[in-house]
Amino acid sequence: MTISNTCSALRYVRSAVRDMAPYVPGEQINDALKLNTNECAWPASPAVNRALYGASEDSSTDNLRLYPDPSASTLRQSAADLYGCSADQIIAGNGSDDCLTIIYRTFLEADGSCEVACPWPTYGLYDTLASIQGIRINHYDYAQRNNTWELPAALGQHNATLTLVANPNNPSGTHTPLLELRRLADQVEGILIVDEAYADFVSNDAERSLISVLDQHPNLIVLRTFSKSYSLAGARLGLLFAHPALVAEMNKVKDSYNVNALTQAVGTAALTDITYHAQLLSNTLAARKQLEIHLAALGWTWPQSEANFLLCTVGEQAHFIYEQLKERGILVRWWDTDLLRNCLRITVGTPENNTRLLAAIEDILS
Ligand SMILES: Cc1ncc(COP(=O)(O)O)c(C=O)c1O
């Protein structure tokens, strides 16, 4: 059967969807060294493997024959215990991207009355989700000062329905002091979402998370992911923390079985292996330090990173180096945009990964 290139039914696709650019995830090339999507460089806890095989093999629990627990209660209770909050403040999602989708669907009217705001540049999916719903998103450029990126003052002054801040930010790795975010929560008219995808890598634990102050900010939503510090990007698991009343509304919007049974099991296991998690964090921070020493010797600079990646200012050769690294089987992230064209975002790898990366860069520059 041959399929025609044109499709007369395309006219039924919503214009907001037809007109939007798709989100472009980081490239995946077989066998390449992936330093382009900020995954953890080490494997997940052995407890995760045990939970995975237990959940898939134990026929007495009927784990795969039956639908999963729609509210992921065991996982949520483990998270509540770890973060010192209550399980009714938590929703589990199919990655934190799913949590973001739930938020957008819950709060944004499609009648043109809502706006979304975020500092820029940041995680591109915030834009894509707004486009899907035909909602305008306003960008406010970060102020780049003293080796860090500061929140733009204008961010909280426009009464957006949703204001999103990634903390630490992607792609800069920079951290916004929690007090500033709390002030922003008080200032905005709508909901403030603080995306803490990389928060576990923040060196000062008092500056890591807003989860403990949620009860003082009823308009605050905090997001967490297992894709980075727990090394579970392939399992797709994220958590949303908010006031129980908001959680109850958002629960109406989520897919009933949005987190599958295997992921619920591995997520619970990962959360409870605190020692292994601490090891993943210290491995990453040590490898980041090693990478920083060598990249500094090349004359490259980056804002101070509190995450598992560095946004290196490389100069006009950035795209060339990105292409050359790809030819050598190493993927890093490059964007063809005014603010980032001279930069490469490099995920921290194992010491061996970093050595390979640095040798390739030296070869390219020689
Ligand atoms: C700031 C930020 N939030 C969310 C995500 C996606 O997380 P998840 O894999 O849980 O969907 C990413 C992934 O790169 C990210 O950088």
The whole-number pLDDT of residue 60 equals: 58
313 and 353, same domain (yes or no): yes
Residue 95: left (phi > 0), alpha (psi -120 to 50), or beta? left
- From the CB of 270, is ligand 1 less than 6 Å away? no
Q: How far apart are CA 366 and CA 259, in angstroms?
A: 48
292 and 226, same domain (yes or no): no
Q: 308: CA distance to ligand 1 center in Å?
A: 12
The whole-number pLDDT of residue 61 equals: 60
Q: How far apart are CA 150 and CA 147, in angstroms?
A: 10
Tens of pLDDT along 252-279? 999 999 999 999 999 999 999 999 999 9
255 and 289, same domain (yes or no): no
Handedness of CA 63, 68, 72, 73 (dihedral sign): negative
Residue 5 covered by a domain:
no
- Ligand 1 atom with least separation from CA of 96: 10
Tens of pLDDT along 70-129? 999 999 999 999 999 999 999 999 999 999 999 999 999 988 899 999 999 999 999 999
* Closest residue to atom 2 of ligand 1, CA basis: 197
28 and 69, same domain (yes or no): no
Q: 61: CA distance to ligand 1 center in Å?
A: 32
Domain that holds residue 28: 11-40+275-365
226 and 329, same domain (yes or no): no
63 and 29, same domain (yes or no): no
| CATH code (residue 151) | 3.40.640.10
236 and 309, same domain (yes or no): no
121 and 207, same domain (yes or no): yes
The whole-number pLDDT of residue 146 equals: 84
Last residue of a domain, one of 273, 296, 327: 273
Residue 236: left (phi > 0), alpha (psi -120 to 50), or beta? left
- Ligand 1 atom with least separation from CA of 93: 10
Task: Using a pLDDT cut of 70, give the percent of the chain over it.
Answer: 99
33 and 110, same domain (yes or no): no
Handedness of CA 277, 123, 92, 203 (dihedral sign): positive
268 and 281, same domain (yes or no): no
Structure pTM? Answer: 0.96
Residue 24 covered by a domain:
yes
Last residue of a domain, one of 258, 273, 288: 273
126 and 160, same domain (yes or no): yes
Residue 180 covered by a domain:
yes
Q: What is the DSSP string of 39-90?
A: --SSPPPHHHHHHHHHHHH-GGGTTTTSPPPTT-HHHHHHHHHHHTS-GGGE
Residue 3 covered by a domain:
no
Count the alpha carbons within 13 Å of 212 in the hemisphere toward its beta carbon: 10
| CATH code (residue 336) | 3.90.1150.10
Last residue of a domain, one of 251, 273, 295: 273
Q: 148: CA distance to ligand 1 center in Å?
A: 21
Helix-strand-coil percent breakdown of the chain, rounded to 5? 45, 15, 40
Residue 104 covered by a domain:
yes
Tens of pLDDT along 187-208? 999 999 999 999 999 999 999 9
Tens of pLDDT along 25-64? 888 988 999 999 999 999 999 999 999 988 777 665 677 8
157 and 75, same domain (yes or no): yes
Q: How many domains does the chain have?
A: 2
Q: How far apart are CA 323 and CA 329, in angstroms?
A: 10
